[in-house]
Copies of this chain bind each other. A is one copy, B any other.
Amino acid sequence: MRIVIPFKKENAKSRLSGVLTPDERGMLAMKMLQDVLDATDGFAVDILTPSVFNDARIDPHILWSDSGLNDALNEYLSKVAEYGCDPVMIVMADLPLLKRRYVREIATSDADLVIAPGKGGGTNILSIKDPSRFSTDYYGTSFLDHLRIAHDNGLSVEVYDSFAAATDIDEPDDLVELLIHGTGEAARALVDIGFVVAVRDGRAEVERLSHTPHPP
């Protein structure tokens, strides 16, 4: 099993620009990536990226590609298939609630394809037993597209039902989930910035305490 994590540093998490500065968004994206690296520890991990890093933890995993997401991933799947056909698990980089247990459970499934849905029809994790028999189609309602591709290729499918795996961090409301359920680096970074959860009209929202001192 190889794990591949697509990641782009530039203009990361633009839908959080209402609540985080560009630097903070970049920092949060890196912390989330580190949480995903923690969850995938023990596997052979490639970070598929068009970005350049200078980070001792990230650099050994870098696989550079400036293709778009689907092209880069499908080139990757072809390469893996060519060199011996290991199973491949594609894990999104913005899943800071992911735990090792979930990754191990997905890795040991008997299905040809395991798919962990994201919110809004997205796909957060895809585990592909035979990468020569599948290609990705991310964006839009990719969950449905991936089910269709699996069906067209005669693959058995397991839908991996997990709130943690479904929680990708894109919008301010998602930060509520990270603050409430997170235990890793990204959650700590949010707390350090000064975010708290406030309840307004019965709904939980994130609020930034301006008087919170910056961490040393």
User: Hey, which bits of chain A sit against chain B, CB under 8 A?
Assistant: 102, 117, 119-122, 139-141, 143-144, 161-166, 173, 176-177, 180-181, 197, 199, 202-204
Cβ of A81 to closest chain B Cβ, rounded Å = 28
Chain B residues positioned under 8 Å from A143 (CB to CB): 180
Contact of A164 among B141, B161, B176 (CB under 8 A): B161
Contact of A139 among B122, B161, B162, B202 (CB under 8 A): B202
Chain B residues positioned under 8 Å from A120 (CB to CB): 173, 176-177, 203-204
User: Are B121 and A176 in contact, CB atoms less than 8 angstroms apart?
Assistant: yes
Cβ of A156 to closest chain B Cβ, rounded Å = 18
Q: A119-B177, A161-B162 are in contact. List 8 more A-B contacts (CB 8 A).
A: A120-B203, A121-B204, A140-B199, A141-B199, A144-B180, A162-B162, A162-B163, A166-B166
Cβ of A35 to closest chain B Cβ, rounded Å = 16
Chain B residues positioned under 8 Å from A180 (CB to CB): 117, 121, 141, 143-144
Cβ of A129 to closest chain B Cβ, rounded Å = 22
In chain B, what residue has the closest Cβ to A121? B204
In chain B, what residue has the closest Cβ to A164? B161
Chain B residues positioned under 8 Å from A144 (CB to CB): 180
Cβ of A98 to closest chain B Cβ, rounded Å = 11
A–B complex contacts, Cβ < 8 Å, 6 sampled: A120-B176, A120-B204, A121-B204, A122-B204, A139-B202, A161-B162
Chain B residues positioned under 8 Å from A161 (CB to CB): 102, 162-164
6 residue pairs, one from A and one from B, having the closest CB atoms: A163-B166, A140-B199, A121-B204, A120-B204, A121-B180, A163-B163
